[in-house]
Amino acid sequence: MEISTLAMYHCLAFVWYFFVAYSITHVKAEERPSEVFLYGGQWKYLTVLNLFLQAVFYGVSFLADVLRLIKKLRCAKCIISSRDLLFSVLAFPVSTFVCTSFWTLYSYNRELVYPKSLDGVIPLWLNHAMHTAVLPLALLEILALPHRYPAKKKGLILLGFVAFLYISWVLWIYSVTGEWVYPLFALFSPPGLAAFFAGSLAIIVAFYNFGEFLNRMIWGQSKFS
């Protein structure tokens, strides 16, 4: 894509994610089911955190495009490095994980991840914006331009650290409230839950490797913007 086209695309994606994040964080308090949005608010849900992650990523991408357009190449180089790190380590694997894990569990038993009581609060379009559209947009980003991936060890350490932080946040919420972020977790014994978290981490690492594979297959090893 031309830089001007990329800038327009990244600007629109940023506005979209900002709008979706704004919409979910402004669900009226009196309409919320009693079992949802308590301690930690929306910030305990990976889906909501991912919306803000995507908004930050596309904002950084738009800034990189603008700097390239105005020929501020030294500044652009630093921003591009941040953009690629955000996309490779977090934006692509987390979006892919959110979409595939949500709809897999939803198909099995929606009450485990998205109680039916939410249907009267969160519109259908917003549900799909949070859980469906994130994957095709992540794939479109790979098709739009190449991204430089970090060394495998560095990338996986960063991804693992972020996963550890989120799991710690989930466990902290349970220690304070006695309630799990997702009803699914209540089905497991402590060893079973540890195995579930380990399996989830393995899946998100697989998505990291998949993103790197797609990037290499489409763009090769040497072409970066």
Q: Please enumerate in sequence order all residues whose Cβ is within 8 A of that of 156, keeping only pairs 6 or more positions apart, or say none.
A: 205, 208
The rounded radius of gyration (Å) of the Cα atoms in the chain is: 18
Q: Does a structural domain hold residue 33?
A: no
For 19, the token pair is 């709008």
62 and 14 Cβ atoms separated by less than 8 Å: yes
Task: Report CA 141 to chain centroid distance, whole Å.
Answer: 13
pLDDT band at 221 (very low <50, low <70, confident <90, very high): low
For the cut 70, the answer to whether the pLDDT of residue 168 exceeds it is yes
Residue range of the domain that includes 153: 3-24+39-219
Q: Does a structural domain hold residue 224?
A: no
Q: Does a structural domain hold residue 34?
A: no
Backbone angles phi, psi at 35, to 5 degrees: -90, 0
Overall number of domains in the chain: 1
What is the C-alpha separation between 105 and 111, in angstroms, rounded?
A: 9
pLDDT of residue 220: 85
Average pLDDT over residues 72-95: 91
DSSP codes, 23-82: HHHTS-GGGS-TTSS-TTGGGG-HHHHHHHHHHHHHHHHHHHHHHHHTT-HHHHHHHHHH
Name the range with the highest mean pLDDT among 10-14, 181-185, 220-224: 10-14
pLDDT of residue 121: 86
pLDDT of residue 155: 95
35 and 117 Cβ atoms separated by less than 8 Å: yes
For 140, the token pair is 């479109």
Q: Please enumerate in sequence order all residues whose Cβ is within 8 A of that of 123, keeping only pairs 6 or more positions apart, or say none.
A: none
Average pLDDT over residues 170-188: 91
pLDDT band at 223 (very low <50, low <70, confident <90, very high): very low
Q: Does a structural domain hold residue 32?
A: no
Q: Does a structural domain hold residue 186?
A: yes
Q: Does a structural domain hold residue 31?
A: no
Q: Does a structural domain hold residue 29?
A: no
Q: Does a structural domain hold residue 225?
A: no
pLDDT of residue 28: 61
pLDDT of residue 120: 84
96 and 12 Cβ atoms separated by less than 8 Å: no
* pLDDT tens track for 118-160: 888 889 999 999 999 999 999 999 999 999 999 999 999 999 9
* pLDDT tens track for 35-60: 445 667 788 899 999 999 999 999 99
pLDDT of residue 167: 96
* Residue % of the chain over a pLDDT of 90: 72
Q: What is the pTM of this model?
A: 0.90
Q: What is the DSSP letter of 176?
A: H
pLDDT of residue 69: 87
pLDDT of residue 88: 96
